[in-house]
Structure 1
Amino acid sequence: VISFSAGAISFTHILKATEPVWSALILAVGFKEFLPLPVYLSLVPILGGVGLASMKELSFTWLSFTAGTISAVTSATKAILSKKILDGKPLGENLTPANMFAVLTILGFLFILPPSLLIEGPVKVKAAWAAALAAGYTKTQLLRLLSVSGFLYYLYNEVAFLALSEVAPVTHAVTNTVKRVVIILASVVVFRTPVSPLGMIGSGVAIAVLLHIPSLRTSVNKL
C-alpha cells in the first residue's frame, strides 16, 4: 500500500513480480533447497528487466521502490514458511489452508496494530478521511468501497493460500505474475499511467521470463 501511494500502480506490480526471484534466493540461502541451474540463469534477465523499468519509470520514487521490494521479499518469505507448515505435521484440528490464512491474518493484525497507531494515529486517519470527503466521495461511498475492497482482498489471499497448498512456492509466485500482468495493463489503460518505451521493454522482458519459469522447470525435470 505504501508503494502504491508513493508511485504508479504498474511500477509497484513490476517490483512485486520479482517475488519468484526472492523465493528462489530464500530457498537456496535459508533452506539449502536448490533449483535447476537454468532456472537461476533465467533470473538474470528478470532482474535486468526490472532494472530497465526502474531506470526509465516516469513516476519513480525511492519510497515506492523500497516499499515494493520489501513487499516482494516478505511475501516470498511468507509463502515459503506457510508451505513448510502446510506440508508438515498437522498442528491442530481443522487447520486447513483457509483456516491457517485466517489465523495468520488475525496475528498479523495484532502485530501491526501498535506501530500503525503509533505512526499514523487518529489525527492522520481523520485527515485522510477528510481529504477523501473533500475529493467528492460521500461517507456511504467510502464505507462501501472500503468494505468491498477489504472483502475482495481477503478472498483473493485466501484463494492464493489454497493454491499454495497444492504447488511449490516458486511456482506459486510465478502464477501470481499473471495477475500482475493484468493489473499493469489495466492501470496503464484505466489510469493512463505514463510508461516510457524502455520501461515497457524492461517490464515485458521480466514478465515474459517469469511466465516461462514453470515450463523451464518441467523441461529440466524430464531430462
Structure 2
Amino acid sequence: MKDTFKHQGMRKQLADVLRKKGIKDAAILKAIETIPRHLYLDSSFESHAYQDKAFPIAANQTISQPYTVAFQSELLRIKSGANILEIGTGSGYQTAVLLEMGAKVYSIERQQELYKKTKLLLSKLGYRPKQLIFGDGYKGLEEQAPFDGIIVTAGAPFVPKPLLSQLKVGGRLVIPVGEDPQIMTLFTRTSEKAFAKEEFGEFRFVPLLEDKN
C-alpha cells in the first residue's frame, strides 16, 4: 500500500473531526495528520482507516479509535524528550503518535505475533522507539524507570502497582480501569508516596493480558 494525496487529505479531515470533539494539543493533531494510519490496518479495512473508529488487527486485538489515541495522549501532557512507557504496543499507531510528539518511547507488547509484526512495520515506516519489548505490561519496565508518563492501551481490571512506582514525581499514568466499559483514569505522582487521581468517563478497550508463561 502507498500513502497518496487522497490519504493525506483524509488525515486532515480526521484531525478536523478530533478538533471538533475537543482535542486541542497541536502536536497530537499534527501527528494524526502525519501518520499513515491505513498502513497499520489490514488492507481490507483501508477504506475505513480515517474514520474515527476502532478496527480489528492481528491476535484478536484492535487499533484504538483515533479520538481515544488523541485523548490519552493529551492526558499525558508530553513534552519533547519525555521518557514514556507504553503498555500494549498493539498496531504501533499510538507508538508512532508518541514518537511524532517528540517522546522517547519504551513499549511493551504481550502478544508475540503482534510484537513481531509491529516491530517490522514501525522500522519500515522509519519509527524508532528506544525499546520495543515482548513481555508482561503489568510489570512495567523497572530498568528504564522512572518515567515522565505511562500510557496503558488496554483495559486493566486493576491498577498495577509497578506502574505507579515507576513514575517520576510529577509523572502521569493514563490507564483505562475496569472490565467493560473501562473508566479512563489519570494518576499524577505528587510525591514519593502520594498520587492524585482523576476520572474521565467510559471507554472500551480489549483486556490487558497478564503473562501466563
Higher relative contact order (CA 8 A, sep 6+): 1
Counting strand residues as a fraction of each chain, which structure ranks higher? 2
- Work out which of the two has the higher radius of gyration on C-alpha atoms and give 1 or 2: 1
Counting helix residues as a fraction of each chain, which structure ranks higher? 1
TM-score when normalising by structure 1: 0.23
